[in-house]
Each structure stands twice: as structure tokens, then as C-alpha cells.
Amino acid sequence: MPDSDLQHGTRLVVSPSKVVLGSGAADEVGDYAATYGDRALVVASEVIFDIHGESLVETIEDAGLDVVTYTDVRPDPTVENIEDAFALWESEDCDVIVTLGGGSSIDTGKGVGILAANGGSIRDYGVDRAGYEGVPNPSPPIVAVNTTAGTGSEATRSVVVSDESTSTKFLIVSQNVVPTVAIEDPEITRSLPRSHTAFTGIDALTHAIEAFVSVKSYSVPDDYARSAIRRISDSFTKAWANGDDIEARTEMMIGQLQAGQAFTNSSVALVHGMARPLGAQLHIPHGLANALILPYVMEFSVMAAPEKYAEIARLMGAADAHTPTREAAEAAADAVLQVCEDVSLASYLDEFGDVPDREAYLDVVGTMAQDAIDSGSPDNNPRRPTREEIEDLFVTIYDDALAPDSPRRS
């Protein structure tokens, strides 16, 4: 069927220039980095670098490059992470960025690229200040070696940065930050613990679902999203249950890439708008924050896009072609909740996050709701929420999923 949206204008479909996919893909990183320069800045967390860094650096050096390493990346990278990594880039006169890790390392590398090409302060490029496509000049070459199956950051024009001075996260969106090469090696994801397999997997599913129902969706990202939902629904729990199931790991790697391509060419929506402030206030990993929010936002939104949510349920195997549309649509949230329960997502709050008592939580609900609105993401939701509705959703999430005696935790 022709896309009526494309009959009345053009769309920019962004993607990495090259995607290298398959077992052993990480062994080729040096060859690709050497195409773009002779002095590489490798950006990673200390934990990831301890596991994969030595072999990566050796691969890059064997290709004839000098290597400088920055290994202080934190989960949910900070303004300081980006500034410190950029200072190293500048002082060492590097010319190609190689990221090793998931979204945190990739976003740090993107931040370095923004400052290298544009100068100034990284905070100035947030969409709340610069708007969308607010990065004027293209970044230097970025080779992103992905070690998770979730964020899709290696395929996107988005950067999420934590501002610790205000306990908030801000978003940068520009085609000028998309990595040049995405390296997708499922063998690397074998080292992911179950917790991070869960966090990154649900993050990918959230990307696909939000892109699919977004008011900015159209045919190209819709097809990426459909494929991602189908693959992730089939392989996520398998990869979590058995981390050495390389077929499931491969399918998750492809699914999360497609989910990244879906949302960067459509958008995320209310879930991500709420997840950023929830994660910032409660120090909850981004994927876990998505998991806590996603089923409730789906229930809230279903009336505005029943056909889309019905298709999600069918892609997930929770409904079939004979199920009436509204009945199928309402099954979608239950299907997502079942996936969250299958991988024990709410149980990880015991180890990850700092959940306050209800009174202290209610004190920051208004701030979180405003931060969600300021991000712009809720405007992309099929049912556009009021501030009061976002606050009500935050309260429901606390009572049903965050509180120690809540149904999802108990």
C-alpha cells in the first residue's frame, strides 16, 4: 500500500553508513577505524574495558592506529564524562572515536563528537535549548562497537546525558551524531549478566513499540518496528534464560538494531519522557525505568491507536487475526507485562535504584512530570497526556510497581 505521508512531502531516513553484523564482527573494528584516521580515542566503562578492552585495543593497533583510552564512562553518562573524554580527545589530537559498550559509552562518544565539531558546552545542544537537529556540524567518524542488545544508540541520532547538578537528564537529537560504523557482534553479549540482558532487552522492545505508535510514525520505521517487536518477543526471554544461546543473542542484536532504526526515524513518546526523570530521581537504570512504565502507558494510550496496539499484540502472539481489534489492543499491555514478569524485571529494584518512601516520592512527582513534558517526548504519544495525567501515571507506577509491597515486586 502506498504511504500517503510520503506522497505529500519527503522524509529523511537516517542510519549508520555501515553496519557490520555477525559473530566475529568485533575483530574487524581496526580495519574500519583505519579507514577514517590514525589516532583513535577508545571510550568505554572500566567494567566493559576490563572484559573486552585489551583485545579491542590490540585489534585497532594491529591495523596501524595509535590508541588513547577513556574508561571512566558511567551508566547514564554525565556532562562531566563527556567533557573529560573530549579534553583527552583534544589533548591527544585524536581523529576517530571508537566506542565500546552499550548506550552509555556510545552516547559519551557522540558527545565527544559534538564538542569536537562544534565546540561550546554539551548542555547547550539539548533539545530544550537548541531544539531538534540543533547540532550544526557533523561529528568526526564514530565506530560504535555494541556490547548490549538494547539501546540501539549505534543507529540513532539521539544522545541522553545526565546533568548531576540538577538531577535531570537531557536529550540531544541530530542527524549529525549518527555513528559512521555500527559493529554488531552477538558473541560479545554473552558476557552480559542477566540483569543487563533484561534492562537492555526491554529497552529495545520499548523503542520498537513507541516508534510504532508515535504520531510521527510512517511506513519505513513502522516496518523496522514490526520486525523488531516480532524478533524481540521471540528471543528476549530465551537470551535471558540462557546467555549462551547464540541464536537468541543474534536475534536480539538484530531486533535491537531495528528498534533503534525505528525510533530514530519516528520518535519515542510518553514512556521515554517519563523514564528519564524517573531514572534520574531514583537512580534506576534506563531500561528498568522503561519496564516499570511501559504497561501503564500502553493501557493509557490504547484508546487513541487501537489498530496499532492490536497489531502489537498479534506480533507478540497475544492475539490472532480473528481477535476483535479493541480486545487485541487491550491484550498488548498484558503481553508486555508478562514479558517483564518472565525476566523478573521488578525484582531488580532490590539491587538497582533508590526507591524512596511514598511521601518523599510524591514530593518529586510534580518535578518529574514537568521534566517529562519539557523533553517533548509526550507530545509524540498517540494519546497526548495532560500534566495531571502524567502525575497520576507516576503515582500508579509507584503503588503498583515501585513500592516494596507493590503487586509487581511482591
What are the pLDDT digits (tens) for 126-143?
A: 998 999 999 999 999 999
- SS3 call for 379: helix
What are the pLDDT digits (tens) for 240-262?
A: 999 999 999 999 999 999 999 99
Low-confidence ranges of the chain (pLDDT < 70): 1-8
Kindly give the residue spans of alpha helices, DSSP state H, lying in 49-95.
Answer: 54-62, 79-91
Alpha-carbon gap, residue 310 to 316, rounded angstroms: 10
pTM over 0.95: no
Q: To 5 degrees, how large is the angle CA 75–CA 299–CA 157?
A: 40
**Residue 13 dihedral angles phi and psi, to the nearest 5°:** -100, 115
Cell for 23?
559473530
How much is the pLDDT for 1?
Answer: 42
Q: Mean pLDDT of all residues in the chain?
A: 95
Alpha-carbon gap, residue 325 to 337, rounded angstroms: 19
Helix (H) or strand (E) holding 273, with range, is helix 270-282
How much is the pLDDT for 406?
Answer: 96
